[in-house]
Structure 1
């Protein structure tokens, strides 16, 4: 009787110990990456641990403030793998056949930041590993640019502003990114949305239409605005050029539709505004030819100021949104990285 009681107590103790191990990982690892980059979150079986590949179950979750806020990322059992939600087509296991269940995340966003939990179950000894992912906001190696659509200034509510940046291969900028851009010399008198729902604009050269000649340089802040009713421009941010941006040499000037087709004929697509800014800022792209972009605007990037080509400053020059039927411009194309 005593022996049976002892066996029962030991069994319960072992079960409780296993439960605690599953609920509370013994340690965590911190990993940093840049916005828009790829990252590997480490998790693997111990070197001396033997296993049968087909029996391994791997689960990755993003841990919320409480259990109800946990997000499924990836589940793998033998040959069957599934990713979930925003992680579809972006999450992969590194090399599970060798016991490496590290999670590879592609095209990391600020929303990916947080705590991730890896659980490897092989029927013998479970592995539980927490990884803290920190995403750098890309203040170094990125560029903030103001954007307004073809219909003119101050026409975007907050949701439209977010979509406008995304449509130009960028994201809506943060306060820190705009502040860094202002310190780097960005001067723009049109107010634009930021990702926190505030509306601001950067002034390095005070003047009458932009807060007055006696005002100090800085970020002019309109504060939080109604995201649906208020309408402004937007400040966008791009940190990576994920492909090849180039001027397409053509014997004649093109209409907008002809420009789109010319890029397609070159196995590319017409370039977006964010791609031009990234090429100009991050790669020093310089071309004194005005060309069509995907939003119907005409612009050209100058990194070496000179006569007739932005003589006073390096800048992406904006010509406007001309009639798409006119044949007065060339075209900038973009080939995505493979």
Structure 2
């Protein structure tokens, strides 16, 4: 599996690059009080509408009936017990390219706290990303500007 995390041009949304057909893990971790109750956990595709769930956990149970059909049997959580809500996406397709949002709500001593993180998934043909990195490195070595080539 070849992947790389970097910031986009605006420095706001982390981008994860994955090879077509491989598995990828999109990070989402909880660093709060481990005794707080997680009342909502959802992974969604914000570019596909407000209820575009990849995975939904609410009221103490998962809701596979609300999952986008193309993700059925292809997504898993890293380890909910340790509060690692990272999403494992199996057999990445070109249609998987786009933004992913991890959103969870924790309930503690008379307070609710909400955490949201976004990751952009870029999908490439196997070897394409390595070639691009090597090409950009060569351009820099030769003193050429990679932005002229659109890289």
Bin the TM-score by the shorter chain. 0.5 to 0.7
- Aligned equivalent of 1:55: 38
- Aligned equivalent of 1:136: 124
Give the structure, 1 or 2, with the largest relative contact order (CA under 8 Å, sep 6 or more): 2
Closer, same or farther in 2 for the Cα pair 1:57/1:95, shift >3 Å? Answer: same
Check the 8 A contact 1:54/1:78 in 2, yes or no: no
Instruction: Tell me how far 1:28 sits from its aligned partner.
Output: 2.8
- Aligned equivalent of 2:84: 100
- Aligned equivalent of 1:90: 74
What is the RMSD of the two structures over their aligned residues, measured on CA atoms?
2.2
Of the three residues 38, 42, 45, the one matched with 2:30 is: 45
Closer, same or farther in 2 for the Cα pair 1:63/1:114, shift >3 Å? Answer: same
SS of match in other structure, 1:32: strand
Gaps of at least 5 residues in structure 2 are: 1-11, 129-151
Closer, same or farther in 2 for the Cα pair 1:53/1:110, shift >3 Å? Answer: farther
What is the 5 A alignment of 1:98-177?
98-123=82-107, 124-138=112-126
Instruction: Tell me how far 1:98 sits from its aligned partner.
Output: 1.1
Separation (CA, whole Å) in 2 of partners of 1:56 and 1:100: 15
Separation (CA, whole Å) in 2 of partners of 1:78 and 1:56: 6
| TM-score (norm. length: structure 2) | 0.64
Check the 8 A contact 1:54/1:77 in 2, yes or no: no
- Aligned equivalent of 1:31: 16
Gaps of at least 5 residues in structure 1 are: 1-26, 141-338
Check the 8 A contact 2:38/2:104 in 1, yes or no: no
Of the three residues 28, 42, 57, the one matched with 1:76 is: 57
Pick the structure with greater CA Rg: 1
SS of match in other structure, 2:45: strand
> Which one has a larger percent strand, Structure 1 or Structure 2?
2
Closer, same or farther in 2 for the Cα pair 1:35/1:53, shift >3 Å? Answer: farther
Structure 1 runs, 4 residues or longer, greater than 6 Å off = none
Q: Give the total of aligned pairs.
A: 110
Separation (CA, whole Å) in 1 of partners of 2:90 and 2:70: 11
| TM-score (norm. length: structure 1) | 0.30
